[in-house]
Amino acid sequence: MYFVVLGCIFFGELFMLYAEQLGAKLYGLSGCSFSHTILLTLVPLLVGAFLLVIGYMLGLKYHQNIWVVTAISFSTILIAEPLFNYFFIGQTPEFGAGVGVLLGFLGLLAVTFL
């Protein structure tokens, strides 16, 4: 069941990140209208939300600890979002944002191994 929970949360976060990045790219960089951008991001947003709710429900039911579920969610975001930003949007972080990502990664390592 661990891998079902992991898969639901992982792919749910990926769908949510894709919807966020798609919306930012279409509206912020491509000049699409707000309503058109919302409609285009609706499907990945709903799929991601559905998978996340299932992952959290099953995760808490079978692990009996919300922090395990939260760590999976944070880890996915921390690893996947910078990759989405670089490959999908095509931007690298400025100094302050890079330090923030690095500190977040160090925090993840602390939670995982300490």
pTM, two decimal places? 0.83
pLDDT block averages, 10 residues each, the chain of length 114: 89 95 90 92 96 95 88 85 87 88 81 71
Q: Please, are residues 78 and 105 in contact by the beta-carbon 8 Å criterion?
A: yes
At 65 the pLDDT is 87
Torsion sign (Cα): 17, 22, 23, 29: positive
d(CA 103, CA 111): 12
